[in-house]
Structure 1
Amino acid sequence: MPDIDSRRSDDRELTLRWSARVSLTPRILFVNVFALALLAGGFFYLDSYRSRIVDYRVAQSGRETRLIAEALGAAPTAERPALALRLARDTGVWVRLYTTNDAPALDTRALGLRNFGLADPDKQPWTLGAARFLDAMIDTVAGAPRAPLYRERRKALDWPDVRPALVMSRAHATVWRAPDRTPVITAASAMPGGGVVMTTVNARDITQTVRIERYRLAIILLVVSIVSILLSLFLARTIVRPLRRLARAAVRVRLGRAREVVVPRLPTRRDEIGMLARALSDMSLALRARIDAIEAFAADVTHEMKNPLASLRSAVEGLASIRDPALQEQLMAIVRDDVHRLDRLITDISEASRLDAQLSRVKFERVDIGAMIAALLAQRDARGVERGITLRFDRLDAEQLVTLGEGARLERVFENLIDNAISFSPDGGLIVIAAAGAEGDLLIRVEDEGPGVPEDAREQVFRRFQSLRPDGEAFGKHSGLGLAIARTVVEAHHGTISIENRADGTPGAAFVVQLPLAQA
């Protein structure tokens, strides 16, 4: 298993400070509604659109007024009223001609053409009142300049357009605000031969155009908002509900109810939520299996320690009442054996209980298994092998037998296998350790000439505190944890360990360890 560097907190990568305490549902709604708010900005864009239309109409009014002034200046005085009426009717403006600062000398409205009039807001329907309120609100938010209120003036020079037109001899226009918030445009231009022509128009079509576009945009925004909110709620439902179910199941597992909890696996979902659900379900099953293993291990430890403790207690109690030196020496020997048994048992239990945690943190390195086994056999030969047993190592000298792992743990595996083979071998027997590479794997066989292992017990011997000991061996020399430790270490290195018959068909057992070869 490769080394895993795990930090305690991923807050800096996964946590948003502004939303750390906000549920997922309002977050999803906020993100989608925020996008809709950007779309609602189109209402304020329409204000800019209206300003451009008004500017265009102001320029148009200036040009029309100048043309009307030139046409009236070129016409005879007697024909001017008829010409003014025709031009006012064609352009839709109210035409007035001032030759003095008093009342107009020519007025198309006085001549009967009433194409200009201001609407009374109090007499309009409530829908227009709501539209005016919306106009005022948008203008306030957008900070649009407010045109002055339109009022009639009696004298020519009271109009702000007349004096610039006379002084600069060019058309000048002003935008006003009618009582119903529609724009009124006045323009004045000097007339050849003297006098000033002034036109007035109530540009209601501009307001109507902007309101129509605003209404269409509101309909679109309303439909998009409804669809977006429904989709957001659907998305939140598909994300938040399964997450809440998983969270509740995790809480129940944390409260010690792992056996009662069924973590939903959501098999129909192929997204990240489904992956998370299946991962949590597998984790809960592994946790349950780990808890069961720990409970069974604790029960086995209790059972295994009771025998030497009972024997030790009996021997100690006997020492207090027996005066015979020979019997006392015999009881002391029992005490020493039981103490050695307890020491060995506690040491193996301690190693077995810490093994998983230690292997999960270890950093794997390249380990030459061939060199390791050769060194182990050389050490045993130097010390001398008991009962005249011979150890032989079969390998090709040029073959690289390298795997990724933790050398000390793998060395313990082969020590346990060699010790097991020695204990079952007859006096003067031969133990063969063979190592070779095969299709990307490393195979190590430890064969002895003992009685072998029955097929129905080949899995049992790898369980903790399960031991099949050779006949004649003194009780308590082994804790029953050696092969269990070996299997744990091998499986942590992504390998397997099993028991087979000898390849040549002779009596004996062959322990086969398979490990992945390291890449060159």
Structure 2
Amino acid sequence: MTAAASFPAGGRGWRRVSPLLRRILLVNALPLALIVAALLYLDQYQHGLLTAEVTALREQARIYAGALAESAVQSNASDQPSLKPDLARPLLYRLTEPTPNAQALVYGADGRVIANSRIRQGPGGAIVTEPLPPVQPRGDFARAVSFLYDQFVAFLPSSEVTSGQDGKGGSGLGWQPSVREVLKLTGAKPSHAAPPFIRRAADGRLLITVSEPIVRAKNTVGAVLLTREATEVDRAVFAVRVSILGLFVLALVLTVLLSVYLARTIATPLLRLAASAGRLREGRGAMTEPVPPPIAARDDEIGVLARALEESAHALWARMDAIERFAADVAHEIKNPLSSIRSAVETVRRTDDPARAARLFDIISQDVRRLDRLISDISDSSRLDSEMSRTALEPVDLAPILAALAEIHQSTREDDAPVMVLDAPKTGLVVRGAEGRLVQVLRNLIGNAISFSPQRGKIWLRGRVTGSIVELAVEDEGPGIPDAKLDHVFDRFYSERPQGEGFGNHSGLGLSISRQIVEAHQGRITAENRRDPEGAVIGARFVIRLPRG
């Protein structure tokens, strides 16, 4: 299953989807889900709408209470004001007639219902009861949205504005206020409004009830309870829910499409790179492109990875080719002394001349020493790369090392040996590297210079800082290097020895190993000839350039 796969149904299909695609979907959908949860949680919005409804309804109830106090209150025999039912009923009916979805109840001071706006006397004295308008039936979509939202909100802490006066004994959606408590509350503090009562009826409609005292001559003679259906609140909240769900569906579709697109642009190229790596591991990618060119041409992080893999593959194959050539060179170099030893041994068996046998044994001894040196240098060269990759590079000041090497040579040289001249500062030639290996390079170059220098000639050890480069040089007064061989002196098993030097004393790997060490330190080593003003060769010069540490 690739990242471009579609979504199979069921949990088993989800497990078959690309892990990267699953992660992208989850990462993209999580913020979206959090946003939707925050938007669907409309308590604050609903609370604001309910507060506005309560404020308007309370103002309407105050108008009713004021009108009743002025028109339906008369003083009795004890000169105490009281509500007159005969005056209150028609007045209440006329007050509530413009509001068909409201019901008003007027209570006397004793808690009895004096007037009900839904009950009036009809023609002929008959009592007519007018129920609230029926609830408008909601469609399937509205019921589905409300059901999903209610199920979702059931898992969230609710702050719905359903209120009892103090939270005692059954405050909730189905709770109805006690008339006596309302009269007690409204009568105790006429200047303070009683809390509203918000509930949802069994048929689903949202009802708001407020109470206002009827006050005449600073006496509370009753109370008005005004109940109205908050249809507009439900409609406004439902409209917001539908808008949010629509935006959620759109955002979800876009998220899925973008996730699939990201998976196609990320996971598929990675899988192709993995396949390329597998072909390289099996050796089938040597003669073809290591990675597909379209992926390597990308200018993003995957393109960087593809190019890095391609460069690594080229470097790997180059290293393997170098190992093959090295093995062939080693076999060739070892074969020569072995052939010489075999010939000498066979000749010794057939000769009776002691002098000739002694010469043959000398040849065998020289070849054995040559083999020993050759094998030692081959071992050093083969483990050099791995050793340098594990060695921690530290700051090394090469100036004291140059001084020490010059002093050792001067103190141990014979009378006719070359003289070493130091031309370097006492300190400041700092590079980052492995001190032992750098000393090995310098000893190798000094050894070569001594081999090619005439008796009592001069060898110069030079060191200086040039910008961000530390430059070291070893110069001699020998015959120099043939111009055609300047680029080959660092090749493996190349040997250009002075006349008269014993055969087999050098393996031809010294300069090759020196170049390996310098390049492992991110530096360069070159060979050139020293010339006089007329252009004649007066010696050789080896120059090492290393990054300043």
TM-score (norm 2): 0.75
Q: Aligned pair in 2 of structure 1 residues 138, 417: CA closer, same or farther (>3 Å)?
A: closer
Q: Check the 8 A contact 1:422/1:431 in 2, yes or no.
A: no
Q: Does residue 162 of structure 1 match 2:158?
A: no
2:403 paired residue number: 371
C-alpha deviation, 1:117, in angstroms: 2.0
Q: Check the 8 A contact 2:406/2:422 in 1, yes or no.
A: no
Q: Secondary structure at the match of 1:502?
A: strand
C-alpha deviation, 1:212, in angstroms: 0.9
Q: Check the 8 A contact 1:161/1:173 in 2, yes or no.
A: no
2:12 paired residue number: none
Q: Check the 8 A contact 2:145/2:242 in 1, yes or no.
A: no
Query: Which of 247, 255, 275 lines up with 1:248 in the alignment?
Result: 275
1:437 paired residue number: 464
Q: Aligned pair in 2 of structure 1 residues 306, 64: CA closer, same or farther (>3 Å)?
A: same
Distance in structure 2 (CA, Å) of the matches to 1:232 and 1:506: 73
CA deviation map 1:471-493 (0-9, x unaligned): 56554332111111222223334
Q: Which runs of 5+ in 2 are unaligned?
A: 1-17, 73-83, 123-127, 163-171, 188-193
Q: Aligned pair in 2 of structure 1 residues 101, 500: CA closer, same or farther (>3 Å)?
A: closer
Q: Which amino acid aligns with 1:129?
A: R
Q: Check the 8 A contact 1:120/1:180 in 2, yes or no.
A: no
Distance in structure 2 (CA, Å) of the matches to 1:438 and 1:73: 106
1:513 paired residue number: 543
Q: Aligned pair in 2 of structure 1 residues 393, 196: CA closer, same or farther (>3 Å)?
A: closer
Q: Does residue 487 of structure 1 match 2:504?
A: no
Instruction: Number of aligned residue pairs: give it.
Output: 482
- 29-38 or 277-286, larger mean C-alpha shift: 277-286
1:400-419 equivalent positions in 2, closer than 5 A: 400=427, 402-404=429-431, 405-419=433-447
Structure with the larger helix share: 1
1:94 paired residue number: 103
Query: Which of 196, 205, 209 lines up with 1:182 in the alignment?
Result: 205
Q: Check the 8 A contact 2:212/2:224 in 1, yes or no.
A: yes
Q: Aligned pair in 2 of structure 1 residues 71, 163: CA closer, same or farther (>3 Å)?
A: same
1:80-479 equivalent positions in 2, closer than 5 A: 80-92=88-100, 93-97=102-106, 105-108=115-118, 110=120, 116-119=132-135, 121=137, 124-144=138-158, 147-148=172-173, 160-170=177-187, 173-188=196-211, 191=214, 197-257=224-284, 259-260=286-287, 262-263=290-291, 268-320=297-349, 322-360=351-389, 361-364=391-394, 365-368=396-399, 369-379=401-411, 382-384=412-414, 388=416, 390-393=418-421, 395=423, 400=427, 402-404=429-431, 405-425=433-453, 428=455, 430-437=457-464, 439-440=466-467, 441-450=470-479, 452-471=480-499, 473=501, 475-479=503-507
2:49 paired residue number: 53
Q: Which amino acid aligns with 1:107?
A: S
Distance in structure 2 (CA, Å) of the matches to 1:264 and 1:511: 46
Distance in structure 2 (CA, Å) of the matches to 1:51 and 1:439: 77
Distance in structure 2 (CA, Å) of the matches to 1:178 and 1:454: 109
Q: Does residue 500 of structure 1 match 2:528?
A: yes
Query: Which of 17, 29, 35 lines up with 2:31 in the alignment?
Result: 35
Q: Which amino acid aligns with 1:419?
A: G
Q: Aligned pair in 2 of structure 1 residues 378, 494: CA closer, same or farther (>3 Å)?
A: farther
C-alpha deviation, 1:64, in angstroms: 3.6
Q: Which amino acid aligns with 2:28?
A: N
Distance in structure 2 (CA, Å) of the matches to 1:401 and 1:42: 65
Distance in structure 2 (CA, Å) of the matches to 1:55 and 1:430: 107
Q: Check the 8 A contact 1:431/1:449 in 2, yes or no.
A: no
C-alpha deviation, 1:131, in angstroms: 3.4
CA deviation map 1:187-224 (0-9, x unaligned): 45565686654433221111111111112222333333
CA deviation map 1:145-198 (0-9, x unaligned): 785459xxxxxxxx6442323444455753332344221234455656866544
2:21 paired residue number: 25
Q: Check the 8 A contact 2:445/2:474 in 1, yes or no.
A: no
Q: Check the 8 A contact 2:410/2:419 in 1, yes or no.
A: no
Distance in structure 1 (CA, Å) of the matches to 2:326 and 2:319: 10
Distance in structure 2 (CA, Å) of the matches to 1:321 and 1:131: 110
Distance in structure 2 (CA, Å) of the matches to 1:403 and 1:162: 97
Q: Check the 8 A contact 2:449/2:476 in 1, yes or no.
A: yes
Q: Which amino acid aligns with 2:266?
A: I
Q: Check the 8 A contact 1:444/1:512 in 2, yes or no.
A: yes
Q: Aligned pair in 2 of structure 1 residues 251, 477: CA closer, same or farther (>3 Å)?
A: same
Distance in structure 2 (CA, Å) of the matches to 1:194 and 1:443: 113
Distance in structure 1 (CA, Å) of the matches to 2:547 and 2:32: 59
Quote the sequence identity (%): 36
Distance in structure 1 (CA, Å) of the matches to 2:516 and 2:522: 10
- 399-408 or 359-368, larger mean C-alpha shift: 399-408
Q: Which runs of 5+ in 1 are unaligned?
A: 1-21, 151-158
Q: Secondary structure at the match of 1:141?
A: coil
- 241-250 or 347-356, larger mean C-alpha shift: 241-250
Q: Secondary structure at the match of 2:42?
A: helix
TM-score (norm 1): 0.79
CA deviation map 1:11-59 (0-9, x unaligned): xxxxxxxxxxx94332232222111111112344313432453355456
1:74 paired residue number: 70
Higher relative CO (Cα under 8 Å, sequence separation at least 6) belongs to: 1
Q: Aligned pair in 2 of structure 1 residues 167, 406: CA closer, same or farther (>3 Å)?
A: closer
Distance in structure 2 (CA, Å) of the matches to 1:201 and 1:438: 94
Q: Aligned pair in 2 of structure 1 residues 107, 209: CA closer, same or farther (>3 Å)?
A: same
